[in-house]
Amino acid sequence: MSEKIVTLSIGGGGKQTSSFIKDIILKHFDNNIIDNLGDASYIKTSENTAFTTDSFVIRPEFFNGGNIGKLSICGTVNDLSVSGAKPLYLSFALVVAEGYSLENLEKIVESAANEAKKAGVAIVCGDTKVVERGGIDGIIINTCGVGSIVKKLNNYENIQAGDKVIITSDIARHGMAIMLERGQFGFNGNIESDCACLNHMMSEIYDYNIKFSRDATRGGVAAVLNEIAEKSGKGFIINEEDIPIRQDVAELCDTLGYDPLSVANEGAAVIIVGDDDCQKVLDTLKSTETGKNAKVIGEVVDDNKVILNTISGGRRHIDLPPGELLPRIC
Amino acid sequence: MSEKIVTLSIGGGGKQTSSFIKDIILKHFDNNIIDNLGDASYIKTSENTAFTTDSFVIRPEFFNGGNIGKLSICGTVNDLSVSGAKPLYLSFALVVAEGYSLENLEKIVESAANEAKKAGVAIVCGDTKVVERGGIDGIIINTCGVGSIVKKLNNYENIQAGDKVIITSDIARHGMAIMLERGQFGFNGNIESDCACLNHMMSEIYDYNIKFSRDATRGGVAAVLNEIAEKSGKGFIINEEDIPIRQDVAELCDTLGYDPLSVANEGAAVIIVGDDDCQKVLDTLKSTETGKNAKVIGEVVDDNKVILNTISGGRRHIDLPPGELLPRIC
């Protein structure tokens, strides 16, 4: 039997569009809100809302620890969570090439739906566009998220010298899992992406003296710290020996010539916390599944630089990562 | 001087990403909210909110009457407007291929920003992903919209026999403008897409006895009427002689073998209105720029079919358009 594939007619707005949406999409998104599909969905929000968007272009679409569907949910849930908002509603927009395997597409949709359920968020609106063969390579997903603000964690002015820096997970697993999956380097290994929704973990720490947080995706921890430094006028001293990283991940980064601090994560947040609450936040994070490897990795200083104290006893600047890093990593 | 192009490094999350966002994006989006860029934007909403998503894959990106940037704003503003919500905030997510002209990209961004200003909506969050050459054909934009519900217009149960059907603009211009732009058929002509934001027009009629509305994009008026018929259990009798369509557009549809009722519009809404308020709604629509060609084209009946009374005196079923129609039309 020949494989079922995506056809242009699925995106045409006619009969096949209706069947596709019913059979491949709505089957998995079993929430009530989406039943009465209109051009927009009606949702209940509070006055203070957070809103975010992210497109996902990762190749390959399936990787150790997830796929583009799961990632598209985690990425947007995490953007809301690190901004101090409780994620409530997501949109889900597919762009897929004619000829794409319907079986794989359904796996991706199912995985997104399951991840949304685990995170406790409702996917309330969607869109599907089909482009001709060659119009795109495979599949692209955009998700937007709407959440209710619990505590605004985007304010750089809150950050002051003496605040501590926590990373909530061991780093560089997502980027290296993708590299292994691509198989270009002839390396083997069993590195699973850290791809995970962080909203349940983050909700445990909002009551503490958290100053700022951001998830360390494209550009990794280095990009986050440099952006904070630029915007806040403060700096960081980070201790290499405290950075949580798996031995095999560190070795692969070393072999391939990547600085683990610049490698993308999809389940790791940088948290800036007042010294007074640092231990309580760390203990709380470590009691959660996604935060069990959390570590304090350094502190905020007045000198507007990002400095790494290396294991060998040296000091080096951590700069905003230049150039293209790993393309199509998220 | 060689043309400036998009590079992979723009999407890497590092230095070039920062410069690109500042120089090409934020320059045009001069609202205060986006100044403090975080992983999510903080917005003020009411309890009753509408939320929608749409991806735009149109080829060519520039066409008579607009471009993919303008279209990406109009499409989402209109989805909110026809759902009875006042559009307030938009997201704007770019996926662009390495090698794409930066000049064209900036034109697209500028056009989106101008259209948002005209519509009175704020673009509050964004994302840029760059994929390698060949990873996509050109550029894809996703916009999501958040609006405040004025009157819920998605409820099929409100529709009853005797209600009138209004189309707010002459039809089939968008689809035919794109066909001409593609130039595959060797036809010339000056057909401008109807691409426009309908929020100002729609806000004028919410106080009347509007039962339902939807914009007639992919699949055209035929798709909208058939979807309403399917969901409501009602039917329609439409009079061909009352359908507003430009002579040159009708002739081009005829020559190319398209039913104008199935051709995409980007500035035309189907409005179902109680008979009592029909004339007032029509007069109000006609007093607006985007509604000046509005016409009553038929009425709701109990018989669950969509029937066209043709100019020649016949009757034919209007079915949900089958197949692929025009790919990449929006």
The neighbouring-strand residues paired with A41 are B51
Amino acid sitting at position A3: E
Mean pLDDT of B235-262: 96
A75–chain B Cβ distance below 8 A for any pair: no
Residues of chain B contacting A219 with CB distance shorter than 8 Å: 12-14, 17
pLDDT at A220: 95
Q: CA B321 to CA B245: how far, in whole Å? A: 19
Of A45, A261, A76, give the one whose Cα is nearest residue B51.
A45
User: What is the Rg, in whole angstroms, of the alpha carbon atoms belonging to chain B?
Assistant: 21
Nearest to B83 among A11, A40, A127 (CB): A40
Residues 209-268 of B with CB under 8 A from A: 214-215, 217-219, 223, 227, 262, 264
Mean pLDDT of chain B: 93
Indicate whether B317 pLDDT > 90.
Answer: yes
Residues 6+ apart with CB under 8 A from B241: B309, B311
Contact B40 A85 (CB under 8 A): yes
Mean pLDDT of B21-31: 82
Cβ neighbours of B269 (radius 10 Å): 29
Q: CA A147 to CA A84: how far, in whole Å? A: 9
Contact A137 B140 (CB under 8 A): no
Residue B218 has, within 13 A of its CA and on its CB side, a CA count of 32
Contact A55 B92 (CB under 8 A): no
B157–chain A Cβ distance below 8 A for any pair: no
Q: What is the DSSP string of A34-84?
A: GGS--SSEEEE--SEEEEEEEEE--SSSEETTEEHHHHHHHHHHHHHHHTT
Residues of chain B with CATH 3.30.1330.10: 8-149
How far does B245 lie from chain A, in Å, by closest CA?
21
Q: Residue A231: which H helix or E strand, with range?
A: helix A220-232
Nearest to B12 among A44, A51, A324 (CB): A324
Q: Residue A183: which H helix or E strand, with range?
A: none
Contact B51 A134 (CB under 8 A): no
Q: CA A180 to CA A191: how far, in whole Å? A: 8
Amino acid sitting at position A88: L
Mean pLDDT of B19-42: 75
Q: Residue A1: which H helix or E strand, with range?
A: none
Q: What is the DSSP string of A275-313?
A: GGGHHHHHHHHHTSSTTTT-EEEEEEESSSSEEEE-TTS
Of A44, A37, A26, give the one whose Cα is nearest residue A89.
A44
The b/e string for A247-285 (b: 16+ C-beta within 10 A; e otherwise) is eebbebbeebebbbbbbbbbbbbbbbbbeebbeebbebb
Residues 6+ apart with CB under 8 A from A198: A74, A77, A78, A81, A82, A168, A215, A267, A269, A290
How does pLDDT run along chain A (330 residues), one tens digit per residue? Answer: 578 999 988 877 777 888 888 888 888 886 545 545 678 899 988 889 999 999 999 999 999 999 999 999 999 999 999 999 999 999 999 999 999 999 999 999 999 999 999 999 999 999 999 999 989 999 999 999 999 999 999 889 999 999 999 999 999 999 999 999 998 777 778 999 999 999 999 999 999 999 999 999 989 999 999 999 999 999 999 999 999 999 999 999 999 999 999 999 999 999 999 999 999 999 999 999 999 999 999 999 999 999 999 999 999 999 987 766 678 889
Max Cα distance, chain A (Å): 67
Contact B46 A47 (CB under 8 A): yes
ipTM here: 0.94
**Topology (CATH) of A156-317:** Phosphoribosyl-aminoimidazole Synthetase; Chain A, domain 2 (3.90.650)
A95–chain B Cβ distance below 8 A for any pair: yes
A35–chain B Cβ distance below 8 A for any pair: no
Q: CA A117 to CA B137: how far, in whole Å? A: 34
A19–chain B Cβ distance below 8 A for any pair: no
For A229, the 3-state DSSP assignment is helix
A178–chain B Cβ distance below 8 A for any pair: no
Nearest to A40 among B44, B85, B125 (CB): B85
Q: What is the dihedral of CA B73, B76, B81, B86, to 10 degrees?
A: -70
Amino acid sitting at position A327: P
Residue A152 in contact with residue B39, Cβ under 8 Å?
no
Residues 97-126 of A with CB under 8 A from B: 124-126
Contact B147 A51 (CB under 8 A): no
Q: Residue B248: which H helix or E strand, with range?
A: helix B247-256
Residues of chain B contacting A131 with CB distance shorter than 8 Å: 57, 137, 327-328
How far does A261 lie from chain B, in Å, by closest CA?
12
Residues 257-316 of B with CB under 8 A from A: 262, 264
β-pairing verdict for A295-301 and A235-239? antiparallel
The b/e string for B138-151 (b: 16+ C-beta within 10 A; e otherwise) is bbbbbbbbbbbbbe
Residues of chain A contacting B184 with CB distance shorter than 8 Å: none
Q: What's the pLDDT band for B17 if we cut at 50, 70, 90?
A: confident
How far does B250 lie from chain A, in Å, by closest CA?
21
Contact A140 B95 (CB under 8 A): yes
Q: What is the DSSP string of A99-159?
A: T-BHHHHHHHHHHHHHHHHHHT-EEEEEEEEEE-TTSBSSEEEEEEEEEEESS----GGG-
pLDDT at B46: 86
Considering only residues B42 and B14, tell me which one the structure prediction assigns the higher pLDDT: B42
Residue B298 has, within 13 A of its CA and on its CB side, a CA count of 21
pLDDT at B35: 46
Q: CA B237 to CA B224: how far, in whole Å? A: 14
Task: Select the CATH number that applies to the domain covering B8-149 from these four: 3.40.50.11540, 3.20.20.140, 3.40.50.40, 3.30.1330.10.
Answer: 3.30.1330.10
Residues of chain A with CATH 3.90.650.10: 156-317
Residues of chain A contacting B219 with CB distance shorter than 8 Å: 12-14, 17
Contact A149 B42 (CB under 8 A): yes
Residue A228 in contact with residue B39, Cβ under 8 Å?
no
Contact B53 A126 (CB under 8 A): yes
Q: CA B87 to CA B197: how far, in whole Å? A: 10
Contact A55 B130 (CB under 8 A): no
Nearest to A57 among B129, B144, B320 (CB): B129
Of A163, A190, A203, give the one whose Cα is nearest residue A290.
A203
The nearest alpha carbon in chain B to A9 belongs to B324
Q: CA A91 to CA B172: how far, in whole Å? A: 29
Report CA torsion sign: B169, B172, B173, B178.
positive
Q: CA B176 to CA B255: how far, in whole Å? A: 11
The nearest alpha carbon in chain B to A225 belongs to B14
Nearest to B38 among A91, A154, A219 (CB): A154
